[in-house]
A = this chain, B = another copy of it.
Amino acid sequence: MRADAARNREKVLDAARELFATQGFEVPLDEIATRAGVGPGTVYRHFPTKQALFQAVTETRVAAMIASAEEPADSPEQALFAFLTKMADEAAVKRDMSDAITVSPELRKGLHAALGGLLQKAQEAGGVRQDVTATDLVVLMKGMLQSMHEGANPAVLLEIVLGGLQSHVSSPDHAR
């Protein structure tokens, strides 16, 4: 690969990292190109599609987060809650975290698998509601992560979800 090509590739990745993080996947690709100081054609020389660029930007972060699911914890519930907290903290700062679930099937599957493992152990230990599935959790988290960028307090949102996941002794007792 030519030297200027490698340099431009990095410039594109830098611009994409910044703009995807602040504006999410919706940012126009031309804006990324402009920010990188290149033309749209150059972006497409290095990445076949906008989605591929997005994945290149997010997959290492997501992979690191999935890897952190293996870290030891005091209890299975703690392991699950720590993971969800890590997701929330990341999403509170970088907007592309929630889009990753929607845009890239691979990243979604990876998160689904990681969450599924943690969830199952936490449920077996009895600390988390038995009726929640991994899909429920992925989708709920996606909604919550998106909500963080619309004026809500991220910490409060997270605590509500974590609290709601815990097995409740006193039923919610609401009318249907």
Interface residues of A (CB under 8 A from B): 73, 77-78, 81-82, 84-85, 89, 129, 131-133, 135-136, 139-140, 142-144, 146-147, 150-153, 156-157, 159-166, 168, 170, 172-176
Contacts and interface: CB of A to CB of B under 8 A. Distances in A.
13 contacts: A78-B173, A78-B174, A131-B156, A132-B156, A139-B150, A140-B157, A142-B147, A159-B164, A160-B164, A162-B164, A162-B172, A162-B174, A163-B172
A145 to B, nearest CB: 8
Given A136-B153, A136-B156, A153-B136, A175 B144 contact: no
Assembly of this chain: how many copies?
2
Contacts of A140: 144, 147, 152, 157, 160
Contact of A159 (B133, B170, B172): B172
Given A143-B146, A143-B147, A160-B165, A153 B133 contact: yes
A73 to B, nearest CB: 7
A5 to B, nearest CB: 39
Q: Which one of A132, A146, A175 has the greatest number of beta carbons of chain B within 10 Å?
A: A175
A173 B156 CA distance: 14
Contacts of A131: 153, 156
A161 B162 CA distance: 9
Nearest to A176: B85
Contacts of A129: 156, 159-160
Contact of A160 (B81, B156, B161): B161
A78 B84 CA distance: 29
B81 A172 contact: yes
